[in-house]
Amino acid sequence: MGTATGIIRALNSGIKHLAVKRFTLRYPEQKLKFVGDGYQFDPTTGVGIAGYKGRHLLFHDKCTGCQLCAIACEGVAEAIGMVKVPEDWKHNKKAIMPQIDYGKCVFCGLCVDACPFYALYMTNDYELSSFSKEALIYTPAQLQVKPEVQQDAEIIIDDRGAYHG
């Protein structure tokens, strides 16, 4: 192929691209849709349930304060500390529950795999930035709240190309 034909073909391919829809996701107006409600783990079968690994969700009515999640995280990021909660549960005599420092967490989800009581899941919430390091430490009370996540865009592919919509 000659140099001129090559250059024309290269230009042509760029010009054809003008007709292709823009692929960019317009964050924060658009936010990606995820599958499911976040990563979960089923200790009886030993297999997880697919989902996004975002901020954790703690069920106070299930957590026994067994610390297995903190032990798992010890070898990963040391993000989990066990703290006293001012609550009275029959199954949690010591009244301790995990508190997670998102300045350290790497969102591996191994703490979820370690919890044998279905008490710790992950959610689709990924917008955790804050102005101070202290605000990144989520107490058991904060972890209990199920986040509201806007999810409205997914990849659509049609004959004009792929785009987020």
Partner 1 sequence: MSVPLPPGLQLEKFEEDDKIMTLNVGPQHPGSGHMRLIIRVDGDYIVSCDPDPGYVHRGEEKMAEYRNYILNIPHLERPVIHDSCNILYPYVLGVEELLGLEVPERAKYVRVIAAELNRLSYTLYWLAIYGIFLGHSTMFMWPVGDRELAIDLLDKLTGARVTHSYFVPGGIRNDFPANFEDVCIRQVNYLKKRLKTYGDIFYDNPILISRTEDTGILSREDAIRLGTTGSVLRASGVDFDVRTKEPYDAYEELDIHTNVLKKGDSYDRSKVPWLDMLESCNIIKQALEKMPKSGSVRVKLKPNPKGGDDEVYKRVESGRGSLGVYIVSRSKPEPYRLKLSVGSFRNLICLPYLLKGEKLGNMPAVYWGLNYWPVEADR
Interface contacts to partner 1, rule CB under 8 A? 1, 3, 6-7, 9-10, 12-14, 17, 23-25, 32, 34-36, 38-39, 45-53, 72, 75-77, 106-110, 113, 122, 155, 157, 162
Q: Collapsing DSSP states into helix, strand and coil, what is residue 144? A: helix
Residues 6+ apart with CB under 8 A from 41: 47, 48, 49, 109, 112, 113, 115, 121
The region of 10-18, 35-43, 62-70, 124-132 touching ligand SF4 under the rule CB under 6 A is 62-70
Minimum distance from residue 78 beta carbon to ligand SF4 (Å): 8
Taken in order 131, 149, 126, 107, the sign of the CA dihedral is positive
Contact footprint for ligand SF4 (CB under 6 A): 63-69, 72-73, 76-77, 79-80, 98, 100, 105-111, 114-115, 117, 119-120
